[in-house]
Structure 1
């Protein structure tokens, strides 16, 4: 109600002041579509930059995990190498957890494929998998009342 009244008052004032209404149309430019290889290359270069710090690594990882995709093994490896350069194993494990979570309902098929592809890099960097350190099972989970 107030919005309608305010709109009528504003249009009446414009008419009395002699101001003509102009509409501004916002045009959003869409860039050209990026191929999967170019996308992977862009994030590999982002994580491979010299002088990258933990905050920038987290930003890149959050951007990737916020998209509707599972990062490719090359991008995951690049992120792991960046974590190793800043000596942040907790971030590397969190990155693996995020990538596993992005597999969604296809965890049984996609996640083993990713582990197979990135396992040489994990061994090279000394980063344990989520299953090796027991983070795949909750430590303090309550038993179901139906199991008692």
Structure 2
């Protein structure tokens, strides 16, 4: 009972805070001092483009980002894609795209196309297909809707 009430209260608070202020709040909670969005993005871009980074560290950075209450910026998404491609892990790159799409939440109809528009040149350069090109956006065994018959 308490878990349900706490969940509803958390949802109500998240709805009133908004994306940008929650991003700053998440950064403050992690580092104890205020960090601008640009510095945050640069830090993760630098992390993913480090020399000698391995697959485990890339996964850790991606999981840390996806665990925060924010949608990664296109520059950070591109840096993660380049890192995954550098260690030759295309499955990780596709999962990264899928995780970023899920982070869009209820704004998926507007935010995800914007992200795709910004990162499409990088996807083409690296040879990484989108989730939609692979058909992962639709369930494999889905039945036709009765309204489409």
Is the pair's TM-score, using the shorter chain for normalization, greater than 0.5? yes
Structure 1 runs, 4 residues or longer, greater than 2 Å off: 140-148
Q: Which residue of 2 aligns with 1:40?
A: 41
Q: Which residue of 1 aligns with 2:78?
A: 77
Q: Which residue of 1 aligns with 2:117?
A: 116
Q: For structure 2, which runs of at least 5 residues remain unmatched after alignment? A: 1-30
1:140 aligns with 2:141: yes
Q: Which residue of 2 aligns with 1:94?
A: 95
> How many residues matched?
121
SS at match of 1:140: coil
Q: For structure 1, which runs of at least 5 residues remain unmatched after alignment? A: 1-29
SS at match of 1:132: helix
Matched residues in 1 for 2:146 and 2:138: separation? Answer: 18
* Aligned CA distance change for structure 1 residues 128 and 147 (closer, same or farther; 3 Å): closer
Matched residues in 1 for 2:133 and 2:41: separation? Answer: 28
Matched residues in 1 for 2:32 and 2:110: separation? Answer: 33
Larger Rg, first or second structure (1 or 2): 1
SS at match of 2:138: coil
RMSD: 2.2
TM-score w.r.t. the length of structure 1 is 0.76
Matched residues in 2 for 1:128 and 1:60: separation? Answer: 22
